[in-house]
Structure 1
Amino acid sequence: MDRREELLDEVTDHVLEHGLIGLTLRPVAAAIGTSDRMLIYHFGSRDGLVSAVVAHAGARSVLAVDALPAARSVRAGVNALWVAYQTEPLNSCLDVYCQAAATGLIGEEPYLSDARASNEKWAVSLRDYLVRCGAPPRRVHRIVTLVDSALYGFHLDLATDRPDELARGVDDLAVAAQRLAD
């Protein structure tokens, strides 16, 4: 692994633990034992670093979904995906994406292109997972669109809503996804 990748791993770990909002170069550099100048050398700017971190967190999310075992049905798969969203590493990775979106970063360059590329990989991972759970390939795109958007919203609601209410809502989503699959 080259030095840039090592730094990216370390900064991503730091961001997953402490969040993205308010990230500045000097404190993060000090936290990982390097200098802000070294981060600028490898990433060009704070924007370049943050964009790389958001993409790297997205790549970690993809690996986590790819590692999920197949469930016995689409409904069970959606519910299992929700459980995974609430555990590490997905919970923190999704939080970073939410923070980037909430601060307006996702809609602007250099973040926009990286976010789109990351989102495409995420969608492929979700498609593969749901096909492993029994979704027919000809319908899986519609199921992914529904499930991804809804679970993202449920994830945002974790901060304010009761987990049992969210779980019921997720199961309602899972039932709808199963109907699309059938």
Structure 2
Amino acid sequence: MARTADPARRVELIDAITAALAETGLATFSLRTLAAALGRSTRVLTHHFADKDALLAAVLTRLDEQQHAALAATPGWDDPAVGIGTIVADSWRRHLSPAELPRTRLIHEIEGLAAAGRLTGQVPAFVSGRARFVAAALEVRGLGPEEARTKATLLNNAYSGLQADHLTTGESARTEAALAELCALADSWT
């Protein structure tokens, strides 16, 4: 008789998988190589995930949860007196911090593979969910739902593009000056 998967152990496993993928990337990812990197058997992975796609879907869901929790924990997130630009700048510092950088790179890799048509599944929901989440912060600051979602889409994609530029070129001064402009623009919306 098969054992029922323990939800807490599954979350721990997903976090370990995410950390491993953040270090190695997705290029050489297989259940076998991932299990070896974790010091586990592939059986442990298949006990919790039906296949590679299910595992990636779980990683995306967990990354989404972690990103939303980190944003919501940013001082001023739900305070309309705090400009959205402040939240964006705080997010930038967190995403590019040494502790968070591998996960930030993994997210960019996932988005790039999805844009190239090499990943299916939850990536579109991952991106659109981020827009809905940021739109909620803009609504708290007085924007209507439709305008908030449009502005959140613009903000998220400009932010992501600047971050990709920064990670690709290493040009901190230029990308951070552009980020300051983006923050000022976002603050002007509210």
**TM-score (norm. length: structure 1):** 0.80
Identify the structure with bigger relative contact order (alpha carbons < 8 Å, sequence gap 6+): 1
Q: Residue 179 of structure 2: which of 163, 170, 174 is its match?
A: 170
1:50 maps to which residue?
56
Structure 1 Cα separation of the partners of residues 115 and 153 of structure 2 = 22
**Structure 2 residue ranges without an equivalent (≥5):** 1-5
Using the size of structure 2 for normalisation, the TM-score is 0.77
C-alpha contact 2:96 2:104 (8 A) present in aligned 1: no
Contact 1:11-1:32 at 8 Å conserved across structures? yes
Equivalent residue runs for 1:127-166 within 5 Å: 127-130=135-138, 135-138=141-144, 139-158=147-166, 159-166=168-175
Partner of 1:18: 24
Output the aligned Cα RMSD.
2.6
User: Residues of 2 paired with 1:30 and 1:108: CA distance?
Assistant: 24
Any stretches of 5+ residues in structure 1 without a counterpart? none
Question: Does the CA-based 8 Å contact 1:68-1:129 persist in structure 2?
Answer: no
Contact 2:134 2:152 in 1 (8 A): yes
Using the TM superposition, name which of 168-177 and 80-89 deviates more. 80-89
Cα deviation code 1:138-176 (max 9, x no counterpart): 243233122100011011112214101101101111122
CA distance in 1, matches of 2:100, 2:151: 20
Q: Extract structure 1 runs of 4+ deviating beyond 6 A.
A: none
- The count of corresponding residues between Structure 1 and Structure 2 is 177
Of 169-178 and 44-53, more deviation after overlay is shown by 44-53
Alpha-carbon distance in 2 for matches of 1:51, 1:37: 18
Show the 5 A alignment for 1:1-182.
2=7, 3-70=9-76, 72-87=82-97, 91-104=101-114, 107=117, 111-112=120-121, 114-130=122-138, 135-138=141-144, 139-158=147-166, 159-181=168-190
